[in-house]
Amino acid sequence: MIRPIATTREMTGMPTGRLAVWWLIASEIVIFGGVLGSYLMHRIGHKEWAAASAHTNTWAGAFNTLVLLTSSLSAVLAHNAALRKDGKRAAKLLWFTILGGGIFLVVKSIEWTGEIKAGYTITANNFWSFYYTAAGLHGLHVIAGMIVMMFVAADAAKGKELQRVENAGLYWHFVDLVWIFLFPLLYIAK
C-alpha cells in the first residue's frame, strides 16, 4: 500500500504520527481516569480498605517505579539518537526500554504470585479487585507498548521510520505516568 498524500500533509505543523499518538493518549487518559476515579470514590467510602492495602509490597512497587522511570529515560535517549539519524543506537536504546518493561512485568508477577498465595486474590475484597484490575490494565498497556517498540526498533535498526521512535516513546511516557498515579494510590495510601 502506498502511503497516501494525506499522511504526509501537516496543516497543524505537527507530523501526523505524533498527532495521532497524542489523541490516543488522550483517549487512554479518560479510560484510566475512569478506573482511578471509581477507585477513589470507593476508597473514600470504605475506610477499612487501609487495612487491605497495607499488604501490598511497597518495596516492589517502588522498585518498579524506578525501573519504569529509567526505561523512560532510555526512551528519551532513543529519541535523541533518532533525531541524529542514528538508527542503530536508537534501536539499542529502545531494546533497553523494552527490557525495563520486561523487568517490571517479572517483578509484578513475583509480587502477585506471593499475594495470591497469601489469599489476596481478585475476589478477596473490593480493594484487591481494584488493585488487580487497575494494575492489570496498566500491565496490558506495558505489554502493548513493548510489542510496538519491538517493531519500531526493528525498523530503526535499518534506518527506517525513525520518526516512530519518538511516537513510541511518547506512548511509553504515558504508560509510565499512569504508574506514577497508581503507585501512591495502590501502595502508599494506607
Q: Are 97 and 71 in contact (CB under 8 A)?
A: yes
160 binds other proteins (CB under 8 A): no
Count of residues of this chain found to bind other proteins when the rule CB under 8 A is applied: 40
Q: Smaller CB distance to other proteins: residue 4 or 119?
A: 4
Q: Is 54 in the site for other proteins (CB under 8 A)?
A: no
Instruction: Determine if 119 is a binding residue for other proteins (CB under 8 A).
Output: no
Which member of 76, 105, 125, 159 binds other proteins (CB under 8 A)?
Answer: 125
Q: Is 113 in the site for other proteins (CB under 8 A)?
A: no
What is the rounded distance in angstroms from the CA atom of residue 75 to the CA atom of residue 85?
15
Q: Kindly write out the interface string for residues 14-33 of this chain, putting x where it contacts other proteins by CB under 8 A and - elsewhere.
A: x-x--xx--xx-xxxxxxxx
Rounded CA separation 128/113 (Å):
14
| Spatial distance between the Cα atoms of 78 and 163, rounded to a whole number of angstroms | 11
Task: Find the shortest distance in angstroms from Cβ 49 to other proteins.
Answer: 9
Number of residues written out for the chain: 190
**Cell numbers found for residue 169:** 516513546
The identity of residue 39, as a single letter, is Y
CB of 168 to other proteins, least distance (A): 15
Question: Cell digits for 56?
Answer: 501490598
Work out how close the CB of 147 gets to other proteins at its nearest, in angstroms, rounded to a whole number: 15
How many Å from the N-terminal Cα to the C-terminal Cα in the chain? 54
Closest to other proteins by CB, 2 vs 54, is 2
Which residues, at least 6 apart from 151, have a Cβ–Cβ distance to it below 8 Å? none
Question: Residue 96 is which amino acid?
Answer: F
Which residues of the chain form contacts with other proteins (CB under 8 A)?
1-2, 4-7, 9-12, 14, 16, 19-20, 23-24, 26-35, 37-38, 41-42, 45-46, 122-123, 125-126, 129-130, 133, 137
